Amino acid sequence: MSEPLRIAIVGAGAIGCTLAARLLGSGQAVTLLARGNSLARIREDGIRLNDLDGQHHVCVVASDDAEALGTQELIFICTKAPALRAALEQIQPMLGPDTVVVPVVNGVPWWYFHGEGGRFAGQTVQAVDPDGALSRALDMKHLIGCVVFITAQTVAPGQVESNNPHLMIVGEPDNSLSPRLERVRQVIEKAGIEARSSDRIRDNLWTKIIANLSSNPLSVVTGATLEQLYSLPALRELVSSVLHETLLTAAAHGARVSIDPHTFLELGANMGPVRTSMLQDYDNGRPLELAAIGDAVLELAEQMAVPMQVTRNIIALARFRGEHRTFARSPA
């Protein structure tokens, strides 16, 4: 049996806790970089995950000091996009020459134009990395891209529920099928999570981007669950418009999205009464991931002269709600 890897999870939200619980359950040497109330509760009671495989209760070494956790072989960054810059700065003491870093973050990644070549080679996505800080914070040699399909909700610090299957897709930014990519895939698979390697990771990214963009901003505007967004006729029509606009943008950038729109809508409706991650953030007063999930796609659309008027309007409404939620008042 191979020796367990030294794996760090950065972020104690729903995805971070799900990964930590599953990886620890498979025998890996996992540590957690967290802070605040989540850190205190996890130190006291560990992580409790309730998913399709049952209930998992694991104890994990957790700290808010990256240097204390030491050099890692594999790091999963499970923060929200607005916290990514701080996370990349924080993990510096954990990086060794061969450390692999896997950002498990929604939206268009800052590295989208790195490694593949083409017309925009080397450019940054301004909406997510306006000053190039993310690109400078992490040498691309460390990075493996990731698309995560895990719907999970935090019910209390360190306590997570997930009622749908887990899937993670990993891929090198240069689309190579490297030995280290296979090692990462195997680690995820052994944790009981369906894991796939991709030689076209941007195709997979667009599938998730479409899922996020067609549901998250509209959920903030309406308060609707995934089931409602993808099945109620009025909302389904809006979702369909966003879906088609984003598909056009993906195609303009050379992506191949294999799933057809009808199937996409049916899968969304079958997710059940799940509140999107952005709606959960809205409810809890946290910043919304509109830059990575929304603005970055609009930026990529503008590069190819693809109009996205419905999408643009929904993003604007979601941003307004996010910026003005503190002024909401209950009826007298």
Q: Identify the active-site residue in 80, 141, 190, 208.
A: 208
- Between the two ends of the chain, the Cα-to-Cα distance in Å is 66
232, 224 Cβ separation under 8 angstroms: yes
The secondary element (H helix, E strand) that includes residue 38 is helix 36-45
Backbone angles phi, psi at 244, to 5 degrees: -70, -40
Please, how many CA atoms are within 13 Å of residue 205, restricted to the half-sphere of its CB? Answer: 33
Q: Is 62 helix (H, G, I), strand (E, B) or coil?
A: strand
Could you give the CA distance from residue 178 to residue 186 in angstroms, rounded to a whole number? 13
CA dihedral 227, 84, 6, 40 (to 10 degrees): -80
Backbone angles phi, psi at 26, to 5 degrees: -95, 5
Contacts of residue 142, Cβ cutoff 8 Å, sequence gap at least 6: 95, 99, 100, 101
Could you give the CA distance from residue 56 to residue 37 in angstroms, rounded to a whole number? 21
The yes-or-no answer on residue 208 being catalytic is yes
101, 66 Cβ separation under 8 angstroms: no
For the packed helices 309-324 and 296-303, what is the interaxial angle rounded to 10 degrees? 150
Could you give the CA distance from residue 145 to residue 110 in angstroms, rounded to a whole number? 11
Could you give the CA distance from residue 39 to residue 60 in angstroms, rounded to a whole number? 10
Strand 54-58 to strand 153-156: parallel, antiparallel, or no bridges (unpaired)? unpaired
Active site residues: 208
